[in-house]
Structure 1
Amino acid sequence: MKNKITVDYSEQVIDLFHRHIESCMYTMEALAEVIAQASECLVESMLHEHKIICCGEGNSRLIAHHLATNLLNSYQHERPALPAMVLSSDAATAIAADSSYNDIYANQIRALGQTGDCLVLCYNGGGSTATLRAIQAAHERGMRIISLSNVKASDASALLLPNDIELTFPVEDRARAIEMQLVAVHSICELIDTLLFGTTYP
Structure 2
Amino acid sequence: MSWIQSVMYFAGFPISEYLEVLLKRTQPSRSFFKAKSDNVTQPISQAGLEGLWQRLLEVETSQLILTPYGGRMSEISDSETPFPHRNGSIFAIQYLVTWDDDKETEKHISWMRRVYAYMASHVSKSPRAVYLNYRDLDLGRNHDANTSYAQASIWGLKYFKSNFRRLVHVKTLVDPGNFLRNEQSIPVLPSGQK
TM over 0.5: no
TM-score, normalisation: structure 2: 0.29
TM-score, normalisation: structure 1: 0.28
Question: Rg: which structure is higher?
Answer: 2
